[in-house]
Amino acid sequence: FSDRDAAARDILTQNDRGGYTVPTDGLYPYQWNWDSAFASLGFAEFDLDRAWQEIETLFSGQWDNGMVPHIIFHKPDPGYFPGPDVWGCNGPIASSGITQPPVALSFATRLLAADPEAGAARFAALYPKMRKWAEWFLKWRRDEKGAIFVIHPWESGRDNAPDWDDAMSGIDPQDVGYYERRDTQHVDASMRPTKYDYDRYIWLVQRAKALDWDDAKVAEGNPFKVADPTMHFILMRGLRDLLAAGEAQDLDTGDMAAQLAELEAGADALWNPGMGYYDSYNCNNGIWSNALSNASFLCWFGGLDAPHMEQHLARVLDAAPYGVPSLAPFDPRFDAKRYWRGPTWGMMNMMIGEGASERGVALGEEVRKRTREVIGRYGFVEYFDPMTGAAAGGKAFTWTAAVWLAWAG
Ligand code: DGY
Protein backbone atom coordinates (compact mmCIF):
# COMPACT_ATOMS: atom_id res chain seq x y z
CA PHE A 1 0.00 0.00 0.00
CA SER A 2 2.97 2.34 -0.41
CA ASP A 3 1.22 4.79 -2.77
CA ARG A 4 -1.48 5.19 -0.14
CA ASP A 5 0.44 7.77 1.91
CA ALA A 6 0.55 10.26 -0.94
CA ALA A 7 -3.12 9.63 -1.74
CA ALA A 8 -4.06 10.27 1.89
CA ARG A 9 -2.15 13.55 1.94
CA ASP A 10 -3.90 14.54 -1.30
CA ILE A 11 -7.31 13.99 0.28
CA LEU A 12 -6.48 16.26 3.19
CA THR A 13 -5.17 18.91 0.82
CA GLN A 14 -8.19 18.64 -1.48
CA ASN A 15 -10.63 18.87 1.44
CA ASP A 16 -8.82 21.91 2.84
CA ARG A 17 -11.04 24.98 2.52
CA GLY A 18 -8.49 27.43 3.91
CA GLY A 19 -7.84 27.02 7.62
CA TYR A 20 -10.32 24.21 8.05
CA THR A 21 -11.02 20.89 6.37
CA VAL A 22 -14.39 19.52 5.28
CA PRO A 23 -15.08 15.83 6.08
CA THR A 24 -15.82 15.24 2.38
CA ASP A 25 -16.88 17.40 -0.53
CA GLY A 26 -20.66 17.58 -1.08
CA LEU A 27 -22.13 15.46 1.72
CA TYR A 28 -20.43 17.44 4.53
CA PRO A 29 -19.38 20.86 3.19
CA TYR A 30 -18.52 22.62 6.50
CA GLN A 31 -16.18 22.24 9.43
CA TRP A 32 -17.23 19.34 11.66
CA ASN A 33 -15.82 19.27 15.14
CA TRP A 34 -14.35 15.79 15.60
CA ASP A 35 -13.65 15.31 11.90
CA SER A 36 -11.50 18.41 12.14
CA ALA A 37 -9.61 17.08 15.13
CA PHE A 38 -8.73 13.95 13.15
CA ALA A 39 -7.76 16.11 10.18
CA SER A 40 -5.27 17.92 12.40
CA LEU A 41 -3.62 14.61 13.34
CA GLY A 42 -3.32 13.78 9.65
CA PHE A 43 -1.82 17.17 8.82
CA ALA A 44 0.60 16.79 11.72
CA GLU A 45 2.31 14.03 9.71
CA PHE A 46 3.44 16.50 7.05
CA ASP A 47 2.51 20.09 8.03
CA LEU A 48 2.44 20.79 11.74
CA ASP A 49 1.61 24.45 11.31
CA ARG A 50 -1.51 23.55 9.31
CA ALA A 51 -2.41 20.98 11.97
CA TRP A 52 -2.47 23.66 14.68
CA GLN A 53 -4.46 25.96 12.43
CA GLU A 54 -7.22 23.33 12.09
CA ILE A 55 -7.82 23.29 15.84
CA GLU A 56 -7.46 27.05 16.19
CA THR A 57 -10.13 27.56 13.52
CA LEU A 58 -12.39 25.12 15.33
CA PHE A 59 -12.05 27.08 18.57
CA SER A 60 -12.79 30.35 16.78
CA GLY A 61 -16.38 29.09 16.76
CA GLN A 62 -16.50 28.49 20.53
CA TRP A 63 -19.53 29.95 22.28
CA ASP A 64 -19.33 32.21 25.36
CA ASN A 65 -20.61 29.36 27.53
CA GLY A 66 -17.61 27.23 26.47
CA MET A 67 -19.43 24.93 24.04
CA VAL A 68 -17.60 24.17 20.80
CA PRO A 69 -20.22 23.50 18.10
CA HIS A 70 -20.42 20.31 16.12
CA ILE A 71 -20.64 22.18 12.79
CA ILE A 72 -19.21 25.60 11.97
CA PHE A 73 -20.77 27.14 8.89
CA HIS A 74 -17.88 29.29 7.66
CA LYS A 75 -19.39 29.85 4.18
CA PRO A 76 -22.95 29.17 3.02
CA ASP A 77 -23.49 25.91 1.08
CA PRO A 78 -26.97 25.03 -0.18
CA GLY A 79 -25.93 21.37 -0.61
CA TYR A 80 -26.35 20.65 3.12
CA PHE A 81 -29.41 20.42 5.32
CA PRO A 82 -29.96 21.56 8.10
CA GLY A 83 -28.04 24.79 7.49
CA PRO A 84 -27.50 27.82 9.76
CA ASP A 85 -31.04 29.19 9.44
CA VAL A 86 -32.53 25.94 10.75
CA TRP A 87 -30.23 26.00 13.78
CA GLY A 88 -30.71 29.71 14.46
CA CYS A 89 -27.66 30.07 16.72
CA ASN A 90 -25.79 33.19 17.80
CA GLY A 91 -22.20 32.08 18.32
CA PRO A 92 -19.24 34.10 17.06
CA ILE A 93 -19.53 32.24 13.72
CA ALA A 94 -22.74 30.68 12.35
CA SER A 95 -22.90 27.17 13.81
CA SER A 96 -25.01 24.29 15.01
CA GLY A 97 -26.19 24.39 18.64
CA ILE A 98 -24.85 21.05 19.86
CA THR A 99 -21.33 19.77 20.38
CA GLN A 100 -19.41 16.61 19.45
CA PRO A 101 -16.93 14.25 21.18
CA PRO A 102 -13.98 16.38 22.32
CA VAL A 103 -11.12 14.47 20.69
CA ALA A 104 -9.58 17.86 19.93
CA LEU A 105 -8.53 18.14 23.59
CA SER A 106 -6.33 15.08 23.28
CA PHE A 107 -5.12 15.74 19.79
CA ALA A 108 -3.94 19.26 20.64
CA THR A 109 -1.64 17.69 23.22
CA ARG A 110 -0.24 15.42 20.48
CA LEU A 111 0.57 18.41 18.31
CA LEU A 112 2.41 19.85 21.28
CA ALA A 113 4.30 16.60 21.81
CA ALA A 114 5.31 16.51 18.13
CA ASP A 115 7.33 19.73 18.59
CA PRO A 116 7.06 21.17 22.11
CA GLU A 117 9.15 24.21 21.35
CA ALA A 118 7.22 25.27 18.27
CA GLY A 119 3.86 24.41 19.85
CA ALA A 120 4.16 25.80 23.40
CA ALA A 121 2.67 29.24 22.72
CA ARG A 122 -0.10 27.92 20.51
CA PHE A 123 -0.99 25.29 23.07
CA ALA A 124 -1.01 27.86 25.88
CA ALA A 125 -3.39 30.05 23.87
CA LEU A 126 -5.83 27.18 23.31
CA TYR A 127 -5.52 25.74 26.80
CA PRO A 128 -8.03 27.98 28.68
CA LYS A 129 -10.52 27.52 25.84
CA MET A 130 -10.13 23.77 26.00
CA ARG A 131 -10.57 23.77 29.76
CA LYS A 132 -13.70 25.86 29.39
CA TRP A 133 -15.17 23.38 26.92
CA ALA A 134 -14.45 20.49 29.31
CA GLU A 135 -16.09 22.43 32.14
CA TRP A 136 -19.14 23.07 29.99
CA PHE A 137 -19.54 19.29 29.54
CA LEU A 138 -19.30 18.71 33.28
CA LYS A 139 -21.86 21.40 33.99
CA TRP A 140 -24.43 20.75 31.26
CA ARG A 141 -23.96 17.19 30.07
CA ARG A 142 -23.52 15.18 33.27
CA ASP A 143 -26.34 13.22 34.88
CA GLU A 144 -26.79 12.57 38.58
CA LYS A 145 -24.89 9.27 38.32
CA GLY A 146 -21.87 11.09 36.93
CA ALA A 147 -22.16 9.89 33.31
CA ILE A 148 -21.86 12.26 30.35
CA PHE A 149 -25.00 12.36 28.21
CA VAL A 150 -25.96 13.75 24.80
CA ILE A 151 -29.07 15.75 23.92
CA HIS A 152 -29.09 14.84 20.22
CA PRO A 153 -27.89 11.73 18.34
CA TRP A 154 -25.66 14.03 16.23
CA GLU A 155 -23.95 15.20 19.39
CA SER A 156 -22.55 11.74 19.97
CA GLY A 157 -21.48 11.56 16.33
CA ARG A 158 -22.98 8.04 16.12
CA ASP A 159 -26.08 9.39 14.44
CA ASN A 160 -28.36 6.39 13.99
CA ALA A 161 -26.87 3.95 16.51
CA PRO A 162 -29.44 1.72 18.25
CA ASP A 163 -28.36 3.44 21.45
CA TRP A 164 -30.86 6.19 20.73
CA ASP A 165 -33.82 4.04 19.73
CA ASP A 166 -35.60 4.10 23.07
CA ALA A 167 -35.32 7.88 23.53
CA MET A 168 -36.22 8.50 19.88
CA SER A 169 -39.38 6.42 20.25
CA GLY A 170 -40.57 8.87 22.90
CA ILE A 171 -40.59 11.77 20.41
CA ASP A 172 -43.69 12.56 18.38
CA PRO A 173 -42.41 14.71 15.50
CA GLN A 174 -45.73 15.38 13.81
CA ASP A 175 -45.29 19.18 13.97
CA VAL A 176 -41.84 19.07 12.35
CA GLY A 177 -43.14 20.52 9.05
CA TYR A 178 -41.81 20.08 5.51
CA TYR A 179 -38.09 19.85 4.88
CA GLU A 180 -35.91 18.47 2.14
CA ARG A 181 -33.04 16.14 2.96
CA ARG A 182 -29.80 16.69 1.08
CA ASP A 183 -27.74 13.77 2.35
CA THR A 184 -29.57 11.21 0.21
CA GLN A 185 -28.75 13.29 -2.88
CA HIS A 186 -25.06 12.56 -2.22
CA VAL A 187 -25.16 9.00 -0.87
CA ASP A 188 -27.48 6.00 -1.38
CA ALA A 189 -30.43 6.11 1.03
CA SER A 190 -29.78 2.51 2.21
CA MET A 191 -26.56 3.76 3.84
CA ARG A 192 -28.16 6.71 5.60
CA PRO A 193 -30.51 7.22 8.56
CA THR A 194 -34.21 6.70 7.83
CA LYS A 195 -36.96 9.33 7.57
CA TYR A 196 -38.16 8.17 10.98
CA ASP A 197 -34.77 9.25 12.37
CA TYR A 198 -34.55 12.49 10.39
CA ASP A 199 -37.95 13.73 11.53
CA ARG A 200 -36.76 13.35 15.10
CA TYR A 201 -33.32 14.90 14.45
CA ILE A 202 -34.99 17.99 13.05
CA TRP A 203 -37.67 18.07 15.74
CA LEU A 204 -34.97 18.14 18.42
CA VAL A 205 -33.22 21.03 16.67
CA GLN A 206 -36.50 22.97 16.39
CA ARG A 207 -37.26 22.40 20.07
CA ALA A 208 -33.90 23.76 21.23
CA LYS A 209 -34.02 26.67 18.79
CA ALA A 210 -37.41 27.70 20.21
CA LEU A 211 -35.68 27.79 23.62
CA ASP A 212 -32.90 30.03 22.22
CA TRP A 213 -30.34 27.27 22.85
CA ASP A 214 -30.39 28.16 26.54
CA ASP A 215 -28.55 25.25 28.25
CA ALA A 216 -30.83 25.09 31.27
CA LYS A 217 -34.07 25.34 29.31
CA VAL A 218 -32.93 22.84 26.68
CA ALA A 219 -32.03 20.32 29.41
CA GLU A 220 -35.32 20.64 31.26
CA GLY A 221 -37.92 18.12 30.16
CA ASN A 222 -35.83 17.09 27.17
CA PRO A 223 -37.14 13.75 25.85
CA PHE A 224 -33.67 13.01 24.49
CA LYS A 225 -31.03 12.61 27.20
CA VAL A 226 -28.88 9.53 26.70
CA ALA A 227 -25.75 8.71 28.70
CA ASP A 228 -23.12 7.90 26.10
CA PRO A 229 -19.81 6.03 26.36
CA THR A 230 -18.50 7.88 23.27
CA MET A 231 -18.73 11.23 25.00
CA HIS A 232 -17.80 9.97 28.45
CA PHE A 233 -14.63 8.09 27.50
CA ILE A 234 -13.42 10.70 25.03
CA LEU A 235 -13.89 13.50 27.56
CA MET A 236 -12.06 11.41 30.17
CA ARG A 237 -9.18 10.98 27.78
CA GLY A 238 -9.22 14.64 26.87
CA LEU A 239 -9.08 15.79 30.49
CA ARG A 240 -6.29 13.36 31.31
CA ASP A 241 -4.18 14.51 28.37
CA LEU A 242 -4.90 18.16 29.08
CA LEU A 243 -3.97 17.79 32.73
CA ALA A 244 -0.66 16.07 31.89
CA ALA A 245 0.24 18.66 29.27
CA GLY A 246 -0.83 21.53 31.53
CA GLU A 247 1.46 20.24 34.29
CA ALA A 248 4.36 19.73 31.90
CA GLN A 249 3.92 23.27 30.51
CA ASP A 250 3.50 24.79 33.97
CA LEU A 251 0.01 26.06 33.23
CA ASP A 252 -2.78 26.46 35.77
CA THR A 253 -4.48 23.06 36.06
CA GLY A 254 -7.17 24.28 38.49
CA ASP A 255 -9.61 21.53 39.47
CA MET A 256 -8.76 19.26 36.59
CA ALA A 257 -7.39 16.40 38.71
CA ALA A 258 -10.60 16.29 40.76
CA GLN A 259 -12.74 16.54 37.64
CA LEU A 260 -10.91 13.62 36.10
CA ALA A 261 -11.38 11.54 39.25
CA GLU A 262 -15.12 12.29 39.12
CA LEU A 263 -15.31 11.20 35.51
CA GLU A 264 -13.44 8.00 36.31
CA ALA A 265 -15.94 7.24 39.06
CA GLY A 266 -18.81 8.21 36.74
CA ALA A 267 -17.71 5.60 34.20
CA ASP A 268 -19.17 2.93 36.53
CA ALA A 269 -22.62 4.28 35.70
CA LEU A 270 -22.09 3.13 32.08
CA TRP A 271 -21.42 -0.47 33.06
CA ASN A 272 -24.45 -2.54 32.07
CA PRO A 273 -24.43 -5.30 34.71
CA GLY A 274 -26.94 -7.50 32.87
CA MET A 275 -24.86 -7.61 29.70
CA GLY A 276 -21.43 -7.24 31.29
CA TYR A 277 -20.14 -4.42 29.07
CA TYR A 278 -20.07 -0.62 28.79
CA ASP A 279 -23.32 0.65 27.31
CA SER A 280 -25.53 3.71 26.94
CA TYR A 281 -28.79 4.31 28.77
CA ASN A 282 -31.78 6.61 28.51
CA CYS A 283 -31.37 9.09 31.39
CA ASN A 284 -35.12 9.73 31.49
CA ASN A 285 -36.09 6.17 32.36
CA GLY A 286 -32.85 4.28 33.04
CA ILE A 287 -33.42 1.80 30.16
CA TRP A 288 -30.18 0.28 28.85
CA SER A 289 -29.54 0.10 25.11
CA ASN A 290 -28.08 -3.42 25.46
CA ALA A 291 -25.85 -2.49 22.54
CA LEU A 292 -22.27 -3.76 22.29
CA SER A 293 -21.03 -0.95 20.06
CA ASN A 294 -17.70 0.48 18.98
CA ALA A 295 -18.22 3.10 21.72
CA SER A 296 -18.28 0.32 24.36
CA PHE A 297 -14.63 -0.38 23.44
CA LEU A 298 -13.49 3.21 23.99
CA CYS A 299 -13.01 2.31 27.68
CA TRP A 300 -9.26 1.77 27.11
CA PHE A 301 -8.88 5.04 25.24
CA GLY A 302 -10.59 6.64 28.24
CA GLY A 303 -7.85 5.18 30.45
CA LEU A 304 -9.60 2.24 32.13
CA ASP A 305 -8.08 -1.24 32.40
CA ALA A 306 -11.44 -2.92 31.76
CA PRO A 307 -10.25 -6.56 31.60
CA HIS A 308 -13.82 -7.80 31.08
CA MET A 309 -14.04 -6.03 27.75
CA GLU A 310 -11.33 -8.15 26.12
CA GLN A 311 -13.52 -11.21 25.67
CA HIS A 312 -16.20 -9.03 24.04
CA LEU A 313 -13.64 -7.58 21.65
CA ALA A 314 -12.46 -11.08 20.75
CA ARG A 315 -16.04 -12.18 20.06
CA VAL A 316 -16.76 -9.17 17.87
CA LEU A 317 -13.51 -9.60 15.90
CA ASP A 318 -14.38 -13.28 15.37
CA ALA A 319 -17.76 -12.33 13.96
CA ALA A 320 -16.63 -9.43 11.73
CA PRO A 321 -13.41 -9.75 9.69
CA TYR A 322 -12.98 -6.06 8.72
CA GLY A 323 -12.36 -4.15 11.92
CA VAL A 324 -14.52 -3.39 14.94
CA PRO A 325 -18.07 -2.80 13.66
CA SER A 326 -20.29 -0.05 15.05
CA LEU A 327 -22.65 -2.74 16.36
CA ALA A 328 -21.88 -6.38 17.18
CA PRO A 329 -22.91 -8.53 14.18
CA PHE A 330 -24.76 -10.96 16.47
CA ASP A 331 -27.14 -8.16 17.56
CA PRO A 332 -30.48 -8.51 15.72
CA ARG A 333 -30.42 -4.74 15.01
CA PHE A 334 -27.14 -5.10 13.04
CA ASP A 335 -27.30 -3.62 9.52
CA ALA A 336 -23.93 -3.96 7.71
CA LYS A 337 -24.28 -0.87 5.51
CA ARG A 338 -26.41 1.52 7.52
CA TYR A 339 -24.05 4.09 8.98
CA TRP A 340 -23.77 3.52 12.76
CA ARG A 341 -25.82 0.32 12.94
CA GLY A 342 -23.07 -1.99 11.70
CA PRO A 343 -20.32 -0.47 9.53
CA THR A 344 -16.65 -0.23 10.51
CA TRP A 345 -15.33 3.31 11.02
CA GLY A 346 -11.59 3.87 10.75
CA MET A 347 -11.41 6.59 13.37
CA MET A 348 -13.28 4.56 15.98
CA ASN A 349 -10.97 1.64 15.23
CA MET A 350 -8.00 3.94 15.81
CA MET A 351 -9.22 5.00 19.24
CA ILE A 352 -10.12 1.40 20.14
CA GLY A 353 -6.87 -0.11 18.84
CA GLU A 354 -4.59 2.55 20.24
CA GLY A 355 -6.36 2.59 23.59
CA ALA A 356 -6.24 -1.21 23.85
CA SER A 357 -2.52 -1.33 23.01
CA GLU A 358 -1.76 1.37 25.59
CA ARG A 359 -3.48 -0.71 28.26
CA GLY A 360 -1.62 -3.87 27.26
CA VAL A 361 -4.52 -5.54 25.47
CA ALA A 362 -2.92 -7.63 22.71
CA LEU A 363 -5.93 -7.37 20.38
CA GLY A 364 -5.19 -3.66 19.93
CA GLU A 365 -2.55 -4.53 17.34
CA GLU A 366 -5.02 -6.85 15.57
CA VAL A 367 -7.46 -3.93 15.32
CA ARG A 368 -4.72 -1.82 13.74
CA LYS A 369 -3.81 -4.54 11.23
CA ARG A 370 -7.40 -5.01 10.16
CA THR A 371 -7.96 -1.28 9.82
CA ARG A 372 -4.85 -1.03 7.67
CA GLU A 373 -6.09 -3.90 5.53
CA VAL A 374 -9.58 -2.54 4.97
CA ILE A 375 -8.46 1.03 4.21
CA GLY A 376 -5.53 -0.19 2.11
CA ARG A 377 -7.76 -2.40 0.00
CA TYR A 378 -10.99 -0.44 -0.24
CA GLY A 379 -9.82 3.17 -0.04
CA PHE A 380 -10.38 6.31 2.00
CA VAL A 381 -14.14 6.11 2.20
CA GLU A 382 -16.38 7.19 5.04
CA TYR A 383 -16.92 3.66 6.44
CA PHE A 384 -16.86 -0.02 5.46
CA ASP A 385 -19.11 -3.05 5.49
CA PRO A 386 -17.52 -5.03 8.36
CA MET A 387 -18.40 -8.40 6.82
CA THR A 388 -17.11 -7.85 3.25
CA GLY A 389 -14.92 -4.76 3.60
CA ALA A 390 -16.92 -3.05 0.84
CA ALA A 391 -16.62 0.74 0.66
CA ALA A 392 -19.65 2.70 1.93
CA GLY A 393 -20.86 6.27 2.51
CA GLY A 394 -18.95 9.32 1.25
CA LYS A 395 -15.75 9.09 -0.82
CA ALA A 396 -12.36 10.82 -0.35
CA PHE A 397 -13.00 11.12 3.36
CA THR A 398 -10.78 13.28 5.55
CA TRP A 399 -10.74 11.27 8.76
CA THR A 400 -10.13 7.96 7.04
CA ALA A 401 -7.13 9.50 5.27
CA ALA A 402 -5.94 11.04 8.55
CA VAL A 403 -6.23 7.73 10.40
CA TRP A 404 -4.12 6.11 7.69
CA LEU A 405 -1.38 8.73 8.06
CA ALA A 406 -1.42 8.95 11.84
CA TRP A 407 -1.90 5.32 12.81
CA ALA A 408 -3.05 2.57 10.46
CA GLY A 409 -0.79 2.91 7.43
C1 DGY B 1 -25.28 14.62 9.16
O2 DGY B 1 -25.74 15.62 8.63
O3 DGY B 1 -25.53 13.46 8.81
C4 DGY B 1 -24.30 14.78 10.22
O5 DGY B 1 -23.85 13.57 10.69
C6 DGY B 1 -24.80 15.63 11.32
O7 DGY B 1 -23.71 15.90 12.12
DSSP 80-101: SSS-HHHH---SSS-B-SS---
183 lines ligand 1 (CB under 6 A): yes
154 lines ligand 1 (CB under 6 A): yes
Residues recognised as catalytic: 159, 382
Q: How many of the other CB atoms lie within 10 Å of CB of 237? A: 25
CA distance linking residue 304 with residue 157, whole number of Å = 22
Query: What domains are there in the chain, each with its CATH number?
Result: 26-316 (1.50.10.10)
Instruction: For ligand 1, pick from 22, 24, 28 the residue to mutate: most ligand atoms within 8 Å of CB.
Output: 28
CB of 401 within 8 A of CB of 35?
no
Supply the residue whose CA is at minimum distance from atom 6 of ligand 1: 154
Please tell me the distance between residue 248's alpha carbon and the centre of ligand 1 in angstroms. 37
> How do beta strands 281-282 and 383-384 pair?
unpaired
> What pLDDT, on the 0 to 100 scale, is given for residue 155?
98
> What pLDDT, on the 0 to 100 scale, is given for residue 2?
73
Please tell me the distance between residue 310's alpha carbon and the centre of ligand 1 in angstroms. 31
CA distance linking residue 84 with residue 75, whole number of Å = 10
Phi and psi at 225, nearest 5°, equal -140, 105
382 lines ligand 1 (CB under 6 A): no
Give the model confidence (pLDDT) of 158-186 as tens digits.
Answer: 999 999 999 999 999 999 999 999 999 99
Instruction: For ligand 1, pick from 95, 154, 158, 345 the residue to mutate: most ligand atoms within 8 Å of CB.
Output: 154
Give the model confidence (pLDDT) of 36-63 as tens digits.
Answer: 999 999 999 999 999 999 999 999 999 9
Residue numbers of the chain with a pLDDT score lower than 50? none
CA distance linking residue 409 with residue 406, whole number of Å = 8
Please tell me the distance between residue 406's alpha carbon and the centre of ligand 1 in angstroms. 24
Which stretches of 249-362 are DSSP H helices? 256-266, 299-302, 309-319, 346-358
